Amino acid sequence: MTSGNVTRLIAFSLAASATAGAHAAVRFSDCLKQPAGWYATDEARYLAENVIRYQAPEGGWPKNRDMTLPPEAHHDSKETPLPTIDNDATTTQLELLARVISAGRGEPVFKEAFLRGFDYLLAAQYENGGWPQFFPLRKGYYAHVTFNDDAMVNVLALLRDCAKGMPPFAGVGIDAERCERAARAFEKGVECILRCQVTLDGVKTAWCAQHDVHSLEPAWARNYEPPSLSGMESVGIVRFLMQIESPDPSVVAAIESAVEWFGTAAIEGLRVERFVGADGKRDVRTFPDQDAPRVWARFYDLETGAPVFTGRDRVPRARLDDIEYERRNGYGYLGDWPAKLLEREYPKWRKNHGLP
């Protein structure tokens, strides 16, 4: 950021501080859920200015920060403020800046910050087409190709829309060379996704939440996130692939095989119940119930295809009820993630593409 733009940003922030009380109406988690007119307001501009204060020198943004607050408000946070694409970081900030710019708040400091963030995403892509969770790279699972919580597909969707000049990115100053780079990055990313799809016994199935950067094989992340087939992250990947306007046969095959896997991986007759125990603590349990809606596991064993539940001890178990209380209640091991995809989105996609 140039010294002139830094000076302007400071001036903007000082001017806005007099009405800082008005800038708490919209939570940061809701900043992309506002009506179009909101992005032209002083509140939106104030938030965009604040967001720029969090931008790392590399161009990206940290995660788990309430950016309606000044950075110094997080001085006691346990999270290290490193740039990442995890937990919607960087893509959220870029889209917010784009919406504010498109709404007429086109100050140079906003456009410069956007382009720095845009370049950060391009620089973070591996040669194999994937993205790590953190860039610059951190040791450990952070360097894996990361599908967890839709991290990589969020990046690809943003680059796709930028390359096509889709709203709200049409007026943010992306030049032709950057558009071409974004288009190439998108194609490489799709190729990486197709290569990562796990084949078992000659049949394509789904994806792991993270894949080894070198082999692209399913890989460990945190102790309770084993190499596996994911009943959650695979949904986001399939939705992304279904957004490709003219999918080639390899993309169609990836979608079809993943959808078939979702059908076979569904868990029938298992009720997942939240309850309050005798000790007054909230808990979750499962029990047989033939009337229960079908659910899917977050993790499926790569050899047996059976649901697997792993706590912080890395020990795989067959039942959610058998892992420790803290993880059982602090992580989503069972859910209905593919239900809407299978019931509505996939049939509509097939119809739109004239598939039999």
- DSSP helix/strand/coil, 45: helix
| Count of helices and strands (H, E) across the chain | 11, 12
End-to-end alpha carbon distance in the chain: 53
Domain limits for position 114:
1-196
Longest CA–CA separation in the chain, Å: 67
Same structural domain, 83 and 216: no
Residue with token string 């733009």: 5
- DSSP helix/strand/coil, 267: strand
Q: So what's the pLDDT on residue 276?
A: 96
Q: So what's the pLDDT on residue 3?
A: 43
Token reading at 177: 């060379």
Same structural domain, 183 and 139: yes
**Contact by Cβ (8 Å): 229, 205:** yes
| DSSP tag of 237 | H
H/E stretch holding 271: strand 270-276
Q: For every residue of 72-138, which 3-state class applies, written as one string? A: HHHCCCCCCCCCECHHHCCHHHHHHHHHHHHCCCCCHHHHHHHHHHHHHHHHHCCCCCCCECECCCC
Same structural domain, 167 and 206: no
How many domains is the chain partitioned into structurally?
2
CA distance 143 to 219: 11
* Boundary-marking domain end, from 177, 196, 215: 196
Token reading at 230: 């994911």
Same structural domain, 221 and 354: yes
- DSSP helix/strand/coil, 16: helix
Q: So what's the pLDDT on residue 6?
A: 46
CA distance 105 to 103: 6
Same structural domain, 323 and 261: yes
For the stretch 303-319, pLDDT in tens is 999 999 999 999 999 99
Same structural domain, 112 and 177: yes
Q: So what's the pLDDT on residue 76?
A: 77
Q: So what's the pLDDT on residue 303?
A: 94
Same structural domain, 45 and 4: yes
Give the amino acid at 85. I
Same structural domain, 313 and 351: yes
Other CB atoms within 10 Å distance of the CB of residue 112: 18
The CATH number of the domain holding residue 171 is: 1.50.10.20
Q: Please state the length of the chain.
A: 356
Choosing from 138, 184, 222, 327, the catalytic residue is 222
* Boundary-marking domain end, from 170, 196, 222: 196
**Contact by Cβ (8 Å): 63, 79:** yes
Token reading at 262: 């979702």
CA distance 218 to 198: 8
The answer to whether 271 is a known catalytic residue is no
| DSSP tag of 315 | -
Other CB atoms within 10 Å distance of the CB of residue 76: 5
Q: Where are the alpha helices (DSSP H) in 175-222?
A: 176-196
Same structural domain, 173 and 34: yes
Same structural domain, 35 and 178: yes
Same structural domain, 23 and 33: yes
* Boundary-marking domain end, from 196, 212, 232: 196
Using CA atoms, how far residue 217 sits from 45, 155, 213, 315, in Å, is: 43, 21, 8, 20
Regions in the chain scoring below 50 on pLDDT: 1-8, 10-23
Choosing from 5, 8, 53, 87, the catalytic residue is 87
**Contact by Cβ (8 Å): 141, 210:** yes
- DSSP helix/strand/coil, 260: helix
Same structural domain, 190 and 46: yes
Q: So what's the pLDDT on residue 24?
A: 56
CA distance 211 to 218: 4
Q: So what's the pLDDT on residue 105?
A: 77
The answer to whether 87 is a known catalytic residue is yes
CA distance 146 to 89: 13
Q: So what's the pLDDT on residue 141?
A: 97
